[in-house]
Chain A
Amino acid sequence: MDKVETDAIRRVLTGDRDAYRVLMERYFHSVHRIAFRITGNQEDAEEAAQEAFLRAYNKLASFRQDSTFSTWITRIAMNTSFNLVERRSRDLSQHGPRIAEEASKAEGTIQFADEKAGPERLLLDQEAITLRHAALDSLTPMERTAFTLRHMEELPIAEIAVALNVTSNSAKQAVFRAVGKLRQCLAPVTGGQV
C-alpha cells in the first residue's frame, strides 16, 4: 500500500474524515463496477458501493493493513452487493415481474424474446437485453454473484469464496450451476443451439 493511502488512513483515524475522499476517489469506480456486475443496475450498484465505503470507514480502525485497501474494499463491496441482491431477490419473490405474451407495466409482466428471431438481432435489440436480464434474474443471488465475478470480472474462485464466506468448491459449483441455467434460458430463443 502506498504512502498516500497509508497517510489517508492515518488521518481518517485521527479525525479527518475528509481524508477518506482520497481513498474513495481512487477506488469508487472499481468498487462500483463490481457492484454493477453483481446487482445488474446502476441504482443498486451505487447503493452497494456507498454501503461498502461506509462499512469500510466504520471498520477502518480494525483494518490491519496486511492486505491492500483495494483488496479489502473490493471484498466488502462483493459482500454488500451480494447482500443487496439477496434482499432484492426476496422482494421480487413477492412483487417481481411475471413472464407474459405482452409486456405490461400495469400488470407487472415482461415478455420473452421471439423464438424465431436470429441470434445476431437478439443480441442487439432491446428484447435481447430483456432476455439477458431475465436469465440472470433466474439465478440465485449466490449463483449470480459467483458467475459475474468469475466470468465478467475474471476474479479467481478463491477470492470470490472468501468474499462470499463459502468454500472454494461451493463458489465453483455456484458458477457451474449458473452457466448451466443460463444456457437453458437461452436455448429456446436460439433453437437449442446454446
Chain B
Amino acid sequence: MKHFSEEDLIAYQLHEGANEGEIRRHLEECVVCAAMSDAIAETLRVFSAEPVPAPDVERNWQWLRGNLTVLEAAPRRRFGLLRAGWVWGSAGLVAAALLVVVALFGVHVRRQVVPKPNYAINGRGPLTTRPADPAIANHLDAAERLLTEVNHASGPLDNTMRSQAHNLLLKNAVYVHTAHEQGDVAEAAVLDNLGRVLTTIDHTSDGESEHRTLQLRVEMNTDGLLLDLRILRQNGQVGQ
C-alpha cells in the first residue's frame, strides 16, 4: 500500500491539498497514515488561536499622532511666547520686514508663474508637472524634517541642526541653479525661499533669547514653505 507523505497529510488537514477525496479514502484503510493525520490534527488544535489581549487604542493614537508629519503648513503656534513683553518689539520689526519680503516675493512669483499651466504656490494643486529626481526628493525630505524640528525645538539650536542646515544650504544652491536652468520657476522660487530660511538657521548663534527670535522668524517663514516642500516632494514621488 502506498502511504501519503507528512506534507500531503498536512495539506489535507489544512485543506490545501488537491487530492482530498483520495486521501480521505486512504485514511479509512491505512492505520499508519490515519495515526499521522490525527497527530497533525492534534498539533493544529494545540496551536489554535488564543484570545488576543485588547490594545489601548487611545494610548496608541496619542503615540502615533505625535509621529505624524503634518501634511499642511505647521500649526500656528503658542501665542504664549509672545506674552513676554520684550519679544513684541523685535517680533513687530521682523513681521514688518517679512511682510515686505513676502509681498515682493509673491509679486515676483506671480509674474513668473503666469505662463505655466500649474501655478499653485501655497495652494493645494500640483506645484510643477516636472517630476523631481530622487536626489531632490531626498533633499526636500531632509529640509522638511529639519524645519519641522526647528519649529518644534524648545531650547537653543544645537550644532547638529546648524550643521544640517549648512549642508542643506550648499545642496540647495545647486538645485536652485538647476531649477532656473530648466526654466522651472515655481520650483526655483520655493527652493530660494528654503535657502533663506536655511541661511537664517545656519547663521544663528548660541543663546536662548536669540533662539526664541529665530524660532519666531523661522516659524513665520516656514508657514507656507513646508507645504510647498511637500507638494514638490509629492510631485517627485508621483513622477517616479
Known: A136-B47, A151-B47. A24 touches B64 (CB 8 A): yes
Do the beta carbons of B46 and A123 come within 8 Å of each other? yes
Q: Which residue of chain A lies nearest to B41 when distances are taken between CB atoms in the complex?
A: A194
Known: A152-B48, A186-B43. A24 touches B69 (CB 8 A): no
Do the beta carbons of B54 and A29 come within 8 Å of each other? yes
Do the beta carbons of A157 and B16 come within 8 Å of each other? yes
Q: Which residues of chain B are within 8 angstroms of A172 by Cβ–Cβ distance?
A: 11, 16
CA distance A182 to B49 in the complex (A): 15
Distance to closest chain B CB from A19 (angstroms): 10
User: Is A53 interfacial (CB 8 A cutoff)?
Assistant: yes
Instruction: Find the residue from A20, A28, A150, A176 having the highest chain B CB count within 10 A.
Output: A176
Give the size range of A's interface with the partner: 35 or more
Do the beta carbons of A29 and B47 come within 8 Å of each other? no
CA distance A29 to B73 in the complex (A): 31
Query: From DSSP, what is the main secondary structure of chain A's interface residues?
Result: helix
Checking B49, B57, B234 against A152 with a beta-carbon cut-off of 8 angstroms, the contacting residue is B49
Q: Which residues of chain A are within 8 angstroms of B178 by Cβ–Cβ distance?
A: none
Known: A29-B57, A33-B52, A179-B40. A50 touches B63 (CB 8 A): yes
User: Is A75 interfacial (CB 8 A cutoff)?
Assistant: no
User: Is B72 interfacial (CB 8 A cutoff)?
Assistant: yes
| B: number of interface residues (CB 8 Å) | 38
Do the beta carbons of A50 and B64 come within 8 Å of each other? yes
Distance to closest chain A CB from B224 (angstroms): 12
Q: Which residues of chain B are within 8 angstroms of A179 by Cβ–Cβ distance?
A: 10, 13-14, 40, 43-44
User: Is B21 interfacial (CB 8 A cutoff)?
Assistant: no
Residue contacts A-B, CB under 8 angstroms, 9 given: A24-B61, A54-B64, A54-B68, A57-B69, A61-B238, A172-B11, A179-B44, A194-B42, A194-B43
Binding site for B on A (CB under 8 A): 12-18, 20-21, 24-25, 28-29, 32-33, 36-37, 42, 45-46, 49-50, 53-54, 57-58, 61-62, 123, 132, 135-136, 147, 150-153, 157, 172, 175-176, 179-180, 182-183, 186, 190, 193-194
Binding site for A on B (CB under 8 A): 6-7, 10-11, 13-14, 16, 39-40, 42-44, 46-49, 52-55, 57, 60-61, 63-65, 67-73, 124, 227, 234, 237-238
Question: Sorted from nearest, which 5 A-B pairs have the closest CB atoms?
Answer: A15-B72, A152-B49, A183-B43, A32-B55, A17-B68
